[in-house]
Amino acid sequence: DAKTTQPNSMESNEEEPVHLPCNHSTISGTDYIHWYRQLPSQGPEYVIHGLTSNVNNRMASLAIAEDRKSSTLILHRATLRDAAVYYCILRFDSNYQLIWGAGTKLIIKP
């Protein structure tokens, strides 16, 4: 299974943009890139996913490198409620059996 590499933690100021990187150099052509986040004492929550093109939704944007070996989750204007652990995972087919790393703990400073 392809793995992802993320920084252990990142800090950002409230109301500023946040760029969360993810490396996935062994990604295959059929792997989708998914991002989830987990608030303390909660189950993971879907954020966004994409295959090749950049994606936008109401929560975030996903920028995917041309060679697909890395991607960046962009929170355009971070709030205190965005403080969470963010996971980048690769998924093929319809299963969620791929390996989740330890994610990036995002700390938002007021």
Nearer Cβ to another protein (13/107): 107
Contact string (CB under 8 A) for another protein, positions 46-75, x = contact: x--x--------------------------
What residue has token string 């995002």? 106
Please report whether residue 100 would count as binding another protein according to CB under 8 A: yes
Q: How many helices (H) and strands (E) does the chain have?
A: 0, 9
What does each C-alpha distance from 35 to 50, 58, 109 come to in angstroms?
9, 14, 22
The binder of another protein chosen from 32, 55, 63, 74 (CB under 8 A): 32
Stretch that binds another protein, among 11-19, 65-73, 74-82, 90-98 (CB under 8 A): 90-98
Position 45 contacts another protein (CB under 8 A): yes
- Amino acid letter at 53? S
What 3-state DSSP class applies to 81? helix
